[in-house]
Structures are given as C-alpha cells and as structure tokens.
C-alpha cells in the first residue's frame, strides 16, 4: 500500500479550495477566526477593479455591558491574485455575534483577517454602528499595499 501525502488546502487551485460554498447548512462558527475565510483565484489579476461587500445584519456584544451591538459592515477592496468567497465571509462576520469587542477593535480585526487571507492591493473596512446611549459610531480602517 502506497502512502500518499494529504492534500494541503493552500495548494489547491481556484474553486477546489472552497469548503462552504454549496453546503446548504453551514453552522455559524462560535468565535471569529481568519481560518473561516476562503478565497478563490482572481480571474482578472492584471485589471484593477473594486469588490464591495455589505453586511447589514452585523451583530456583536459590548465587552463591558454584554448588550448586543448592531451595525452595517462594508468591505471594499481591489484584489490582487485572490478574491474572498462571499459565503465564507458571511459566516466569518456572523461569528462575531457572541464576541465581545469595541467597534474600533472589530473593524480593525476584520481588516487584518481579510488582508491576511487575500493580500489585496487595497482594502477598506467601514463599520456604521447603531446608536447606543444616543451616540452612533462609525469606524473606518484602511490597508494599501503601496503604503506598507
């Protein structure tokens, strides 16, 4: 019997790496982790174009009061060789549902994780959070490969 090496997720090409797309009942992960995010090959890597995702049903937990926070997360990026798969992004963002963090931390965590998995040319994450105590908060974090 010959021994074969297990296939590495990172070695697979294109859509072969995708684990959640096409699965009808994907469980929402219990905590945020960049390992939830999946990518596929950019079919137009020589062209600069923009991709935008909006998550109008974002929720997390206030780390002090434990009260739910609601908001809109918008992710806009110019891909390089990899694009973020939208269902994995949905599961990743929904995993914040029971995560306690301030809005500023959440937006920066999302940016760091998305940049780590797809290495874009540019990316902006903007969070508009519903008012609590009469004050609404908007946070924007940006990444630009040319400024690194």
Say how far apart CA 79 and CA 24 lie, in whole Å: 27
CB atoms within 10 A of CB 90: 17
Per-residue pLDDT, 88? 96
How far lies 41's CA from each of 52, 131, 137, 143, in Å? 17, 39, 35, 20
Domains in the chain (CATH in brackets) are: 29-147 (3.30.1130.10)
Per-residue pLDDT, 29? 84
**pTM given for the model:** 0.83
Say how far apart CA 122 and CA 76 lie, in whole Å: 8
Per-residue pLDDT, 16? 65
Q: Which residues are catalytic?
A: 62, 69
Per-residue pLDDT, 10? 44
Please name the residues in contact with 27: beta carbons below 8 A apart, sequence gap of 6 or more: none
Per-residue pLDDT, 4? 42
Going by C-alpha positions, the residue among 21, 138, 38, 145 that lies closest to residue 89 is 38
Please name the residues in contact with 78: beta carbons below 8 A apart, sequence gap of 6 or more: 48, 49, 50, 51, 120, 121, 122, 123
Per-residue pLDDT, 148? 86
Per-residue pLDDT, 15? 59
Helices (H) and strands (E) in the chain, counts: 2, 6
pLDDT averaged over 10-residue windows placed end to end, the chain, 148 residues: 41 59 70 96 97 97 94 98 97 95 97 98 98 93 95
Per-residue pLDDT, 124? 98
Q: What percent of the chain has pLDDT over 70?
A: 83
Per-residue pLDDT, 28? 79
Per-residue pLDDT, 13? 55
Report how far Cα 15 is from the mean position of its chain's Cα atoms. Answer: 18
């Amino acid at each position: 019997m010959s021994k074969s090496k297990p296939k590495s997720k990172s070695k697979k090409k294109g859509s072969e790496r995708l684990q959640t797309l096409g699965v009808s009942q994907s469980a929402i992960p219990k905590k945020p982790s960049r390992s939830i995010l999946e990518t596929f090959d950019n079919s137009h890597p020589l062209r600069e174009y923009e991709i935008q995702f909006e998550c109008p049903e974002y929720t997390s937990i206030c780390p002090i009061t434990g009260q739910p926070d609601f908001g809109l997360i918008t992710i806009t990026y110019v891909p390089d060789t990899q694009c973020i798969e939208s269902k994995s992004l949905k599961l990743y963002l929904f995993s914040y549902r029971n995560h306690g963090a301030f809005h500023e931390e959440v937006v920066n965590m999302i940016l760091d994780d998305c940049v780590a998995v797809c290495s874009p040319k540019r990316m902006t994450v903007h969070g508009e959070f519903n008012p609590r105590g009469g004050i609404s908060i908007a946070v924007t974090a940006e990444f630009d490969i040319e400024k690194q």
